[in-house]
Amino acid sequence: MEIISLLTLISTLVGGLLIGLAVAFWLSRRNTQPVPDAGATSEARNGLAELTGRLSQMAESQAAQQAKLSEQLQTQERALAKALETRLGDFSKRMGDHLQQTSSRSQSALSDLRERLAVIDTAQKNITELSSQVVGLQDILANKQARGAFGEVQLRDIVEGIMPPSGFDFQVTLSNGRRADCLLRLPNPPGHIAIDAKFPLESYAALREAGDEAAQTKARRAFTIDVKKHVQDIAERYILPGETAESALMFLPSEAIYAELHANFREVVEGAFRARVWIVSPTTLWATLNTLRAILKDVHMREQADVIQAEVHKMLVDVTRLDSRVGKLENHFNLARRDVEEIRTSANKITRRGERITDLELAGEEPDAIPLTPHLQEVSSS
| Complete edge-to-edge strand list for the sheet that includes strand 277-280 | 168-173, 179-184, 193-197, 248-251, 277-280
> Cα–Cα–Cα angle for 344, 349, 354, nearest 5°?
125
Across 342-370, average pLDDT: 71
Query: What's residue 89's pLDDT?
Result: 83
pLDDT over 70 at 152, yes or no: yes
Query: What's residue 12's pLDDT?
Result: 62
Q: How confident is the model at residue 98 (pLDDT cuts 50, 70, 90)?
A: confident
Q: How confident is the model at residue 77 (pLDDT cuts 50, 70, 90)?
A: confident
Cα–Cα separations (whole angstroms), residue 306 to 186, 188, 285: 21, 20, 33
Q: Could you give the maximum distance between any two Cα atoms of the chain, in Å? A: 189
Query: What's residue 59's pLDDT?
Result: 75
Residues contacting 245, CB < 8 A, separation 6+: 186, 189, 190, 191, 192, 193, 239
Provide the mean pLDDT of the chain: 77
Query: What's residue 87's pLDDT?
Result: 85
Query: What's residue 379's pLDDT?
Result: 41
Query: What's residue 375's pLDDT?
Result: 44
Across 299-324, average pLDDT: 81
pLDDT over 60 at 382, yes or no: no
Backbone phi, psi, residue 376, to 5°: -70, -35
Dihedral sign computed on CA atoms, order 76, 78, 79, 84? positive
Domains, the chain, with CATH or none: 134-306 (3.40.1350)
> Higher model confidence: residue 267 or residue 304?
267
